[in-house]
């Protein structure tokens, strides 16, 4: 099945059937197939998915999300525009999160673990070589709801 960008459905390139999925509570629409990449947290195959019309990889076990930097920027911009911002003060992240290191699902190098550079008190993992960002479950929501600069 191939995702049709901007249309929120999948089409089989063999038989031309269409498949429409419903997003989960985080807005993730999972395809029915898995990628070759493994989850850096739980080592299960990542599922091909979409969020806000952008292709991502999603772990159906731990609910983590792997996106390109470009897709991530689009997702955050759409979500923050829709939410209208927040006045709730965020809870700081646990500094011990900076000590957790994971391997990039694409190149297997250790990802850079650092505080997210925009509004939202989360620690993210990025691969500068592959231009991927890994978000643990709930981190996208924290970034979306964080008060601060608009995109």
Q: Report pLDDT digits (tens) over 19-59.
A: 666 677 678 888 766 788 999 999 999 999 999 989 999 99
70 contact partners, CB below 8 Å, separation of at least 6: 131
In this prediction, residue 147 carries a pLDDT of 75
Phi, psi of 42 (to 5 degrees): -120, 5
In this prediction, residue 148 carries a pLDDT of 66
* Domain boundary assignment for the chain: 23-145
Q: Report pLDDT digits (tens) over 132-143.
A: 999 999 899 888
User: What's the pTM?
Assistant: 0.81
Q: Report pLDDT digits (tens) over 113-129.
A: 999 988 788 999 999 99
Token code pair at residue 110: 């250790």
In this prediction, residue 151 carries a pLDDT of 42
Q: How far is Cα of residue 22 from the mean position of the Cα atoms in its chain?
A: 17
In this prediction, residue 85 carries a pLDDT of 63
Classified as helix, coil or strand, 143 is: helix
Work out the average pLDDT over 93-105: 92
CA end-to-end span of the chain:
33
In this prediction, residue 130 carries a pLDDT of 96
Q: What is the mean pLDDT of the chain?
A: 85
d(CA 26, CA 20): 17
CB 29 within 8 Å of CB 50: yes
Indicate whether 7 pLDDT > 70.
no
């Amino acid at each position: 099945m191939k995702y049709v960008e901007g249309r929120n459905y999948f089409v089989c390139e063999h038989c031309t059937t269409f498949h429409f999925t419903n997003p989960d509570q985080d807005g993730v629409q999972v395809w029915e197939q898995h990628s070759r990449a493994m989850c850096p947290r739980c080592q299960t195959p990542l599922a091909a998915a979409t969020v806000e019309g952008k292709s991502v990889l999603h772990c159906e076990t731990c609910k983590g999300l792997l996106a390109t930097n470009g897709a991530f920027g689009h997702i955050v911009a759409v979500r923050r525009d829709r939410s209208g911002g927040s006045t709730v003060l965020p809870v700081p992240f646990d500094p011990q999160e900076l000590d957790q290191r994971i391997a990039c699902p694409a190149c297997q190098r250790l990802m850079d673990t650092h505080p997210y550079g925009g509004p939202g008190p989360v620690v993210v993992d990025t691969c500068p070589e592959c231009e991927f960002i890994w978000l643990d479950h709930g981190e996208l929501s924290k970034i979306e709801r964080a008060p601060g600069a608009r995109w």
